């Protein structure tokens, strides 16, 4: 299985899961990638059987696999990967409207939640003439690094932009930590979308793939051995994967020209 090392804790998490999975009889190992693009390419090329993918990596994997004559499936996801929303935040004012927004701060170029999805939402809502100020922290990590979102929020608080984009839970975190001072408000919220999933490629041995997914789904928060790992990975329970929550992102990818229909990277300035 491949995982992207967006934070040192990724080693702790997957070494822990590896121990648990091996104790449960699964011959399992993982490799760490510095960015999602290489992980997706290796998955479709069959160098790994499974990839712990960001939503953007899922969109690319689906396209790349189809272009190569393969299929991928979203086999499992965290309970916390379902029904996320992003918000657009402005400084409070009596009559600020979406259409008035001229400058907007976003996260990294490849962040689904703080760049691609909210920008598509804004444009669809009529904010056509936008100047985007991007905070490219952790490019290649598909927004897993919170730094870009936080910098966008800071730019709004400093009065450098009209609006900033972020995921709903980070709006709460930034409000609690004081990055977003009183005097800002949410002007728009996207429809719910889904986040990461455990992507399996059709070249993976079916028996191993099914046992892997079955073991993930069997992990219980009541198990003191896996609970700290679930806490670190930010879930209470693994759920079956679903693909119904990626349409918004796929449309945003097309609109921004991030990937083409065959899953090739077409975004300018994107250097993971």
Partner 1 sequence: MTRLDLEGLGFAQGAHILVERALRGLPPGDRLHVVGHDPALAVHLRGWCRSRGHVFSADQHGSLVSPGPAERQRWAGAERAGGPRPDGIVRRPPPHWGLAARGALVEAGGPTPVGFDIADRDVVWADLAPRLYAHAAAAQWDPAVAVDWSAATELPEDIEAAVVQVMTYLVENEQAALVIPARLLARIHPHFREVQQLLAVQAADEARHIEVFSRRALLTGSELGTSSAGGRASLTSLLFEADFSLASFLLSVLGEGAFLALLAFLDEHAPDPVTRQVTRLARVDEARHVAFGVAHLEHQAALDPTLRGRLRAAVERRHDALVDTAGLNADVYDALVVLAAGEWTPAAIARGYAAVQRLQAAMDDGRRQRLERLGFPPDEAAELSALHTRNFM
Indicate which single residue of 15, 160, 225, 240 sits in contact with partner 1 (rule: CB under 8 A). Answer: 225
Q: Binding to partner 1 by residue 224, rule CB under 8 A? A: yes
Q: Give just the sign of the alpha carbon dihedral 117, 120, 126, 127.
A: positive
Distances (CA, A) of 214 to 211, 230, 239: 5, 16, 10
259 phi and psi angles, rounded to 5 deg = -120, 155
Contact (Cβ atoms closer than 8 angstroms) between residue 79 and residue 85: no
Q: Of 172 and 271, which has the nearer Cβ to partner 1?
A: 172
Q: Which residues pair with 186 in a beta bridge?
A: 89
Q: Binding to partner 1 by residue 97, rule CB under 8 A? A: no
Q: What is the bridge-based pairing of β-strands 163-167 and 103-106?
A: parallel
Q: Binding to partner 1 by residue 237, rule CB under 8 A? A: yes
Indicate which single residue of 45, 99, 186, 261 sits in contact with partner 1 (rule: CB under 8 A). Answer: 186
Stretch that binds partner 1, among 47-55, 76-84, 101-109, 156-164 (CB under 8 A): 76-84
3-state DSSP call for residue 212?
A: helix
80 phi and psi angles, rounded to 5 deg = -85, 0
Q: Of 189 and 203, which has the nearer Cβ to partner 1?
A: 189
**Degrees (nearest 5) of the Cα angle 84, 235, 252?**
25
Nearest distance, CB of residue 236 and partner 1, angstroms = 3
Q: Of 15 and 83, which has the nearer Cβ to partner 1?
A: 83
- Contacts to partner 1 from residues 106-135, by CB under 8 A: none
Nearest distance, CB of residue 80 and partner 1, angstroms = 5
- Judged by the rule CB under 8 A, the positions of this chain that interact with partner 1 are 79-80, 82-85, 87, 167-169, 171-172, 175-176, 185-186, 189, 220-222, 224-225, 227-228, 234, 236-237
């Amino acid at each position: 299985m491949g995982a992207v090392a967006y934070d040192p804790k990724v080693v702790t998490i997957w070494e822990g899961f590896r121990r648990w999975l091996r104790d449960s009889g699964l011959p399992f190992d993982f490799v760490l990638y510095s960015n999602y693009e290489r992980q997706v390419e290796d998955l479709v090329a069959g160098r790994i059987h499974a990839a712990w993918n960001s939503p953007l990596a899922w969109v690319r994997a689906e396209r790349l696999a189809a272009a190569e004559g393969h299929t991928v499936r979203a086999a499992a996801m965290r309970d916390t990967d379902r029904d996320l929303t992003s918000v657009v935040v402005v400084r409070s004012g009596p009559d600020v409207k979406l259409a008035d927004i001229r400058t907007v701060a976003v996260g990294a170029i490849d962040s689904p939640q703080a760049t691609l999805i909210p920008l598509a939402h804004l444009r669809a809502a009529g904010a056509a003439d936008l100047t985007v100020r991007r905070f490219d922290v952790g490019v290649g990590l598909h927004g897993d690094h919170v730094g870009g979102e936080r910098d966008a929020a800071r730019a709004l608080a400093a009065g450098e932009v009209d609006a900033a984009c972020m995921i709903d839970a980070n709006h709460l975190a930034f409000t609690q930590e004081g990055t977003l001072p009183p005097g800002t408000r949410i002007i728009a919220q996207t429809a719910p979308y889904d986040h990461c999933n455990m992507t399996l490629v059709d070249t993976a041995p079916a028996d191993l793939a099914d046992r892997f997914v079955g073991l993930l789904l069997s992990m219980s928060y009541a198990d003191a051995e896996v609970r700290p790992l679930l806490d670190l990975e930010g879930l209470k329970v693994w759920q079956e994967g679903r693909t119904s929550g990626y349409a918004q992102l796929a449309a945003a990818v097309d609109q921004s020209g991030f990937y083409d229909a065959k899953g090739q990277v077409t975004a300018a300035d994107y250097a993971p």
